[in-house]
Structure 1
Amino acid sequence: MYKYVLDYLDGESLIQCAQDLVRINSVFDPDIDGANESGVTEYLEQRLNAEGFEVHVDEVVPGRSNVIAFLRGKEPGKTLLFEGHQDVVSVGDPGKWKYDPFGGQIVEVNGRRIMYGRGSNDTKGNVAAAFFAAKAIKDSGVAFKGDILLCFPVDEEGSMIGIKDFIKKGWADDVDGAIICEPEDKNLCIFQKGAIRIKVTFQGDQAHGAMPLSGVNPNWALARFINEIKGLEDVEKDRVMKHDYLGWPSITPTMIKSPIEGVAQINVIPNDCYVTLDIRTIPNQDHDTLVRQIQGIIDRLSHRYSDGYDKFSAFLEIVDDRPWTEISREEQIVKATYRAFRDVEGCEPKYNGVPGATDGTFLQAWKGIPVLVTGAGDREIPHHVDEWVDVDDLIDMGKIYTLAALYYLNE
């Protein structure tokens, strides 16, 4: 019924838009003035305004603004949100890239057109696909009920302050369903892993490395703690087992710093140190319970090693807490996108889960909005050197977004 609208989706212009976005460096660096998403913000504002959307640029913090746009239907109805972030992660060492990280170069590989560049996969290509899906609906003049809302927030790769601000200011209050535009091999992701980020700081007493008994070495405490954490991870894996879509839960020590400040020296026992934990959770894991268990480890070790050169003294800080989410296959947003995928691809889509959190985590956890995560791009490529996306997959994704919106809003 709505397939004729796909004739209004300009695939090559979609790809040009994706290239334009990739060519804008939107890595956030707090230590460099102007190193943020502002170039992408300006580009999207101009493009959306030029196409006649109702556009709002909403500052989150100085220099960093969400781009929000509406396409209004002619009759009252539901509000569908398409969401994709403006920021990208660091390129790391540019010398390790074969292709310019901010070049958006398209190369033919085994008969397929591949676009390279930071953000091509995660998730500027999908941002362009969502924009052009909404544009195709507008250009076709097809009648639809309700509203299509586009949100392109800042800081998804950081603490997600963009989507949190979007929610707190009321922009999501009338949203009935959301499609989060992330690279998921076009799978329909109905689960998302949760995440708890924890920092544990250990206190010692600086001393000479040749006389360890004259001080307190916090590294022993850190080592004992990590060993206990591995045991907790094993217990949790045995308890909840492997999830069909999300795999195993995990508790991963990521950053270790010793000492926290000053110069580390091989012959000096540090005054303090810390470790960060990246905890990824699945259904049947309770975040408050996990935090209590970790605090219990700290309390038990503090009691056992209460004095001496290996004294255990530590405190825990929760840096971020993002719950796991799930929605039913019977949700209208899932059924509409399922139908759209089948119509575009000619086959049945695959259900899956997001191995990490997305901005959609907070839309569902804070507002109860049914969230489906789907987009073009190999799901294992984000953050890699020579990040890439298949150009034709982006065009197909634009078509899927187009039909999903119409099926969701009109039926």
Structure 2
Amino acid sequence: MIDVRSREVAVPFLQSLIQVDTCNPPGNEHRLSLLLQDFLRKAGLDSRISSIGGIEQGRSNLEAVFPGDGGRKLMFCGHLDTVSPWTAEAGKYHPHGAVIDNGKMYGRGTSDMKSGLAAMLLAAVSLHQDGIRLGGDLIFLATAGEEVDSCGARQYAEQHSLSELDGLVIAEPTGSRVAVGHKGALWLRISLFGRSAHGSMPQLGLNAVEGMMEVIALLHQHALEWQAHDPVLGSSSLSVNKIDGGVQTNVIPDRCTIDVDIRTVPPLLHEELLSEITAKLEEMKQLHSGYRYQVEELLDRSVVYTDPVEELIRIALELAGKTGGAGGQSGEEEVHRKAAANATDTAVRGVSYYTDASVLHDHGRLPVLIYGPGDPGLAHQPDEWVDIEAYLDSIEFYRKLAVSYLGVIRD
């Protein structure tokens, strides 16, 4: 097999991943698991596919273990699914065309995060190709469902002992910068129940839509009271992003529902926030005894943060400084860009989105590195793209990271 790090292999390989539609919902990640397994088989490597909810659902994880000499265990993790494609009106390029234009590859998942997933796998396979024996195990995990409920990561955590791992690398888009964590996410669905009546006789009913306006104001006021800021992860936030209520114009609505997105940073605790919000709703109920409310927890993702003194982060910072971030330029412009990047790559950062690390970090014990070639600002956007040079550079980054962290056994 030709060197998998070469442009001739790496670029078509990423194109093949983009061309497989794994938009979630419904996901259909199994078709991509099979593609990766076939690639590994041709490279002489074994892998294991685990179905999610039965193979007939078309969803699965893929795991490949590159065994070392019994030392540390490092996991490379990326997700197989993407968000929904953009419409023809919204973008210039086909979401699954994997078109290359002016040094960029366009398609759903190019940035978030099939480029990182592909680079991790190619880095691991290249070590096998070169006959390099690592001092510990390198585990490659491709998960289903990260964009919705992290079903793949959750199943892996239930079926494996995370305590055996020593480090976790997530290939989400960071613009080839070192990130040490992300905010927590708590999604709530709050339903308010009132009493229906004729629109001409509102005094006979209890308007759930108008009552929900009070609930929303209460939530925002409460968010100001518990607002927190972290120097790396940023500030907490609360936003009401979906509302549903009412039957028709001349009917007093007896039900209204909102979906609330809360992002948290230390020292906020989700359990405490949920209790406080429930208590506030109970207070409101005392003022308006006819109302009844219900709170459902849609998603709970913990904060992820790794101290920059951890060896995994220190190695990553050193490597990022040497590579100077994303590629794609040349000549004097490239020299100046690398100099500027080297000056900033020694600083750690957090990312605004959540990742599978919130499920896999073993309750905060594992050091987590988030690093990927994609631009986080392009995630979920029309005409999503990845810089091809940044993608190729990231293969080298992951390869060197594995060697540095796990060590090499020399005969």
TM-score, length of structure 1 as denominator length: 0.90
- 1:49 aligned residue: 41
Displacement over 4 Å in runs of 4+: none
Q: How far apart, CA to CA, are the structure 1 residues paired with 2:7 and 2:137?
A: 23
Percentage of pairs with the same residue = 28
Give the alignment of 1:206-245 within 5 angstroms.
206-237=196-227, 240=228, 242-245=229-232
1:341: how far off?
2.0
Aligned match of 1:28 in 24, 28, 49?
Answer: 24
Tell me the residue number matched to 2:381. 384
Match of 1:3 in 2: none
Distance 1:233 1:86 in 2: 34
Size of the aligned set, in residue pairs, is 385
Q: Comparing 375-384 with 244-253, which one deviates more in the overlay? A: 244-253
Deviation at 1:92, TM superposition (A): 4.0
Name the structure 1 match of 2:243: 256
CA distance in 2, matches of 1:8, 1:161: 30
For 2:40 and 2:188, how far apart are their aligned partners in 1? 39
Return the alpha-carbon distance in structure 1 between the equivalents of residues 249 and 109 of structure 2: 40
Instruction: Kindly state the Cα deviation for residue 88 of structure 1 after the two structures are TM-superposed.
Output: 0.3
State how 1:36-75 maps to structure 2 within 5 Å.
36-62=28-54, 63-73=58-68, 75=69
Amino acid aligned to 2:213: A
Q: CA RMSD, aligned part only?
A: 1.7
Gaps of 5+ in 2: 325-337
The one-letter amino acid of 1:141's match is G
**Structure 1 stretches of 5 or more lacking a match?**
1-6
| C-alpha contact (below 8 Å) 1:323/1:365 kept by paired residues | no
* Residue identity in the other structure for 1:38: H
Local SS of the residue matching 1:61: coil
**Residue 293 of structure 2 corresponds to which residue in structure 1?**
314
**In the alignment, is the contact (CA less than 8 A) between 1:167 and 1:173 conserved in 2?**
no
Do residues 396 (structure 1) and 393 (structure 2) align?
Answer: yes
Distance apart, 1:57 and its partner CA: 0.2
1:346-380 deviation digits (Å, cap 9, x = unpaired): 63524110212100111124472211111111111
What secondary structure is seen at the aligned counterpart in 2 of 1:317? Answer: strand
1:349-364 superposed matches below 5 A: 349=345, 350-364=347-361
1:327 lines up with 2:306 in the alignment:
yes
For each residue in 1:112-138, what CA deviation from the matched residue of structure 2 results, as whole angstroms up to 9, or x when unmatched? x01111000000011110011101111
Shift of 1:228: 0.7
1:104 counterpart residue number:
98
**Does 1:81 pair with 2:75?**
yes
- Residue 264 of structure 2 is aligned to residue 281 of structure 1: yes
* 1:323/1:361 contact within 8 Å kept: yes
Bigger mean CA deviation after superposition, 40-49 or 342-351: 342-351
| 1:198 alignment counterpart | 188
Deviation digits for residues 146-190 of structure 1 (CA, Å, limit 9, x no counterpart): 111000000000110100101110163421101100001112111
Within the alignment, does 1:187 sit opposite 2:177 as a pair? yes
Secondary structure of the equivalent of 1:29? coil
Following superposition, the deviation at residue 245 of structure 1 comes to: 2.3
For residues 190-220 of structure 1, the C-alpha deviation after alignment (integer angstroms, 9 at most, x for no partner) is 1210011111111122222222112221112
Cα drift, residue 269 of structure 1: 1.9
Seen in structure 2, the aligned counterparts of structure 1 residues 365 and 199 have a Cα distance that, compared at 3 Å, is farther
2:1 equivalent to 1:9: no
1:83 maps to amino acid: C
Deviations 1:220-267 (A, max 9, x none): 221100001111122223xx2x322222211111111114xxxx3222
CA distance in 2, matches of 1:189, 1:344: 16
Question: Where does residue 329 of structure 2 map in the other structure?
Answer: none
Task: Select the residue among 302, 316, 326 that pairs with 1:337.
Answer: 316
Q: 1:297 aligns with which of 250, 275, 280?
A: 280
Please tell me whether the aligned partners of residues 163 and 362 of structure 2 are also in contact (alpha carbons under 8 angstroms). no
Cα 1:298–1:232 change in 2 (3 A) is same
CA contact (8 A) 1:15 1:128 kept: no
